[in-house]
Amino acid sequence: MNINKQRQIFFAKQAWLATGWQENVLFHVENGMITELAINQMATADSLVLSGPVLPSMPNLHSHAFQRVMAGMAEVSLNPNDSFWSWRDLMYKVVQKLTPEDVRIIATQLYIDLLKAGYTQIAEFHYLHHQVGGKPYQDTAEMSHQMIQAANDAGIGITLLPVLYSHSGFGGQAANNGQARFIHSTEDYLQLFASCEQALQDQPLHKLGVCFHSLRAVTKVQIETVLDAIKSACPIHIHIAEQQKEVRDCLAWSSQRPVQWLHNEIGFDARWCLVHATHLDSQEIQTIAQQKAVAGLCPTTEANLGDGIFPATEFEQANGRWGIGSDSHVSLSLVEELRTLEYSQRLRDQQRNRLHRPSQARIGDNLYQQALLGGNQACQVSIGLQEHHRADFIVLDENAPFVAASQAKDLLNRWLFACNDNLIKDVYVAGNAVIKDFHHAEEEQHKADFIKVVKKVMYDS
Ligand SMILES: [Zn+2]
């Protein structure tokens, strides 16, 4: 995707900076980056005046794009003990039907919808690599190319995370038939990684990271071999401790809990994003916080799958870093992710206003700030209204009643806790408007293609 190299100047009457809400903010953008920013300025003759309150957009740190096609289809009781594992059975059936073109069409529609929701970088945890039955495509990076194409067609930045997936359970158990399209040897994975590196050259919005599906899916030797081979400081993502069963299986296999095992046997640091990390003991909470790794929270998917409640209050008290992802894409709403995270803590504790910090008593402001910082770190981007950051930002609808009526200090709480309509009117990626007045320029064609794929894959029609 090309970046507009022209110098542009933007003016916002209200903008949410790292220092909180400020007025009359003038900022310059060059090569997609903010080069100058000042408050208490006047709009200049050559500046574009943004119509409503302006905030940084949000990085989305966890996605399996193809799963969007089945969102809402697993809400049927087939078994009194339905769980993550019965949801996974349906997901494996859907996987058998998808062509590379289907995957691109689903991802393009998804990415457009995520842009409309205020996300401008997507960490794509991409494990659907091969043909049905497990034979690689002629170009082994075929599916990865489809993801990059989808990101470019939508106009979103992608942090592509090709996934190493080799086994079905702890200790290197053989993969099962349902997993055939995901499986690589370590050597083949490193080749795929090199192909992705090649494909992403000269695409400044896009990043590449290493990804291990989970401790169930790779062995210690595989993790070590990959980390040894890839010397760059790229992000490293892994699903971990999402389910109690996974914790029990890990304990049975190694006498250690998953995060404890990863810390003791491999070690992790700020490059790592531990996706879900739902089931932690107090020591594991402290370890993740001390190592400055990001906990990759996906509150609506975790709620949908019945995973459990992340110990966010204790993690915040430990100064832990976290961000949000939409994972299975049962919800594409940034508002719903943040609200669900806070409300899950309230329901568990039977108390209000759980996720605050000594420096930030306003829940909405704290949620937005932490999700932005953690998302940036996990996606390896720098989104934020400040100099040397990428010029990705959103403009709220100035005509929405709570936007029009509220004082700036209350805007985030009003938006995140009291509005269900989408208030995001315009979305900019690297200084380019990709959503204008709630619309994407190519949305009609992509929507028509998406409808056809949903009918074909889910209804055979
Ligand atoms: Zn996931």
Mean residue pLDDT across the chain? 96
| Mean pLDDT of the 156-175 span | 97
The confidence score (pLDDT) of residue 275 equals 98
Answer yes or no: is 460 within a domain: no
Q: Is the per-residue pLDDT at 85 higher than 90?
A: no
Residue 427 lies in a domain: yes
Q: What share of the chain has pLDDT > 70, as a percent?
A: 100
**Spacing, Cα 207 to ligand 1 middle (Å):** 18
Parent domain of 21: 8-56+389-443
**160 & 290 share domain:** yes
Asked whether residue 238 falls in the same domain as residue 328, the answer is yes
- What pLDDT was estimated at residue 461? 85
Average confidence (pLDDT) over 195-223: 97
CA 327 to ligand 1 center in whole angstroms = 5
Q: What average pLDDT score do residues 176-192 get?
A: 96
The protein residues having their C-beta less than 5 angstroms from ligand 1 (an ion) are 327
pLDDT at position 366: 98
- Distance (Å) from CA 46 to ligand 1 centroid: 45
Q: What is the pLDDT of residue 78?
A: 83
In a domain, residue 341? The reply is yes
Judge whether residue 1 has pLDDT over 80.
Answer: no
Q: For 92-107, what is each residue's pLDDT tens digit?
A: 999 999 999 999 999 9
Rounded distance from Cα 328 to ligand 1 centre (Å): 7
Look at residue 2 and tell me whether its pLDDT is greater than 90.
no
| CATH assignment at residue 353 | 3.20.20.140
Domain of 18: which CATH number?
2.30.40.10
Note whether residue 260 is domain-resident.
yes
- Residue 52 C-alpha to ligand 1 middle, in angstroms? 34
Whether residues 192 and 325 fall in one domain: yes
**pLDDT at residue 6 in the model:** 85
Task: Give the tens place of pLDDT for each residue, 431-457.
Answer: 999 999 999 999 999 999 999 999 999
Residues with catalytic annotation? 276, 327
The model's pLDDT over 259-269, given as tens digits with 9 standing for 90+, comes to 999 999 999 99
Q: What distance in angstroms lies between residue 25's CA and the mean position of ligand 1's atoms?
A: 38
Q: What pLDDT was estimated at residue 4?
A: 78
Residues 8-31 pLDDT 10s: 999 999 999 999 999 999 999 999
Per-residue pLDDT tens digits for 294-353: 999 999 999 999 999 999 999 999 999 999 999 999 999 999 999 999 999 999 999 999
In a domain, 76, yes or no: yes
**What tokens does 134 get?**
């497990």
231 and 102 belong to one structural domain: yes
Residue 40, pLDDT score: 98
pLDDT in tens, 393-444: 999 999 999 999 999 999 999 999 999 999 999 999 999 999 999 999 999 9
Q: Domain check: are 216 and 227 in the same one? A: yes
66 and 42 in a single domain? The answer is: no
**Total number of domains constituting the chain:** 2
The answer on 341 and 252 residing in a single domain is yes
Residue 87 has pLDDT above 90, yes or no: no
pLDDT for 410 equals 98
Q: How much is the average pLDDT of 120-135?
A: 97
pLDDT of 82 over the 90 cut = no
